Chains A and B, each alone.
Chain A
Amino acid sequence: MKNESVYKRNIFGSFKSSAWLLAFSLLLLASGCVKVEYSKIEDPAYLRVFNNLNYIQTLGSKDNKVPFFCMFINPVVDASGMPVSAEIVGDFLDQRDAYAPPYPSHIGSSISVNNPEYPGKENVLVGPILNGFDLSSWAQVPSGKVRIMFAYRPKNTVPFFQLENELKKDILIDTTINLTSKEVYTLHLLQKDFVSKRTGILLRQEIFQKLPLSDSLTYVNFYNMSSKGYWEADRSLKADNFLLASFQGGMKDDMNVFLSLYENQSNLLQKGPAIAGYNGKYLANVKLNTSTGVVNPYVSFPIWASQATNGITTNMWQRFDFFTPGMDITNNPFYQGSTENGGNWVSVNCMQNGNARVQFNDNAAMLPNLLVNIHSGIHNPATFATVNSIEVVNGRIYLTTIQRKYAPPVY
């Protein structure tokens, strides 16, 4: 009898302590829990933003305001007009890079906060794959009528809303744009007049994802979004950067574009042999336009134009010559390396990764190759056709490349 009661008490006692233990472990478990809410934008439009207001740090421009911005979509402003929060914030928006790549990969691996485009490095919801085109460089934003604002900010690493109040009141642009659900847009921040320094935005509704484009042709269209009066202006007023070569002085408002394809981008000594049929071939006309968001027609060239190719990869590169109407490759009066041509002739070489120059007798600015060479499937590299926009802004030239989703590499 006595033994039984001891036994009972033990059972009861150990049950009680195990209950405590259990409760305690549950508490520990519960304290480790977080609730995750995934953000979602209803009826999004897809937007990519470029800051085309460029600058270069020189002695003469040391006092100029640096065009370094914070972008707001649907901002909340206080009584003094200062933004206090916003639905979408694109901070540290720096001048754009010469190359806007098809995937935000190389931007994502950077260690600086300065963003060459929006979304770029921002960790936000991005676009889906539309008609085979990967829109991961386009951010989802609310559709409909949205208010968009660009505020000057100091060039440092302090997030906009943590800046001192007086640094947050310098607004460059405050306007509304109309975005349709599920459409693809690029938004450009531009200087529209070189003399009055008037700035503005240009919203372009892209159509590449709706076109029946072949995957053995590379497509490109051209824009001239320079400010009015840039090419006429005196050289002393323009950024001094020898790497811009013939583009440094700008180009005239109406230009014809000629395409040349060359066989071998590994040879940097000279241009080398051109591909038959593609030596100064007329391609398109481009006119100055900073007011309407019309998409200029895409023109194309075959990616297997070279006889030397095996149909998997090609080493060819492209050169675009911009001539004022009446001039072309055959009656070009300037010598090959001439960089100061009064805006009558400018040229750009698209080769390698955009840092390569032809060493002798050349006046071209540098851009990356339009064709993407990358490891895909068992082929390393395989060459892919792309859809491109080449944009001239004042003394600079920019390339935006869009690529279809491709097969992952097999190692």
Chain B
Amino acid sequence: MAITVQIPTPLRRLTGGISNVTCSPANLGELFSVLDQQFPDLKLHLRDEAGEIRRFLNIYVNEEDIRFLGGARYAFQDGDEVLLVPSIAGG
């Protein structure tokens, strides 16, 4: 089972320019562990000092906000595409 994670432009300087990561985490917690291991500099950009997901970071799975899928309880499926997206203003 594998999922792909897209790294947004502002964070690519912390991933050595890598824009796509393929990995096999079971859930969001494991995904963060994978990213932490591969890109130690990324850690504090995704979660605050208390380990909570940063307030203005949105995580999408196949175009759906992960909070509608159960958030941290969501079990990744093979082929899931994960997006990390900053909040965007209204219109």
Are both chains from one complex?
no
Interface residues, chain B, CB within 8 Å of chain A? none
